[in-house]
Amino acid sequence: MPDQELSGSYRFDPIDLEQMRLLGRLTPGQRIRVMLDARELAVGLIRGRLRRQYPHLSLREINLRVLEETDRAKQRTFPRP
């Protein structure tokens, strides 16, 4: 799939209807909690990868790289269907 992402032909993964049903039953506050937990997991995975790639960097430097990487991701544009 990485080749598809680079070529611009990748659209979206199929919708998980069961996941949508489960999320639909949550209160707005619970949905926000789920979103924040997912974000925490994603940032933790990025931080762990950066620690393995750059074991010589301090925690502050790793955190700066995490911010740089997430900022770059926000700036990416995706093709419209």
Convert the pLDDT of each residue in 48-81 to its tens digit: 999 999 999 999 999 999 999 988 887 776 666 5
Contact 62, 47 (CB under 8 A): yes
pTM of the model: 0.68
- How many helices (H) and strands (E) would you count in the chain? 4, 0
Token digits for 65? 């790289």
- For the chain, the structural domain boundaries read 2-75
Residue 4 has pLDDT above 50, yes or no: no
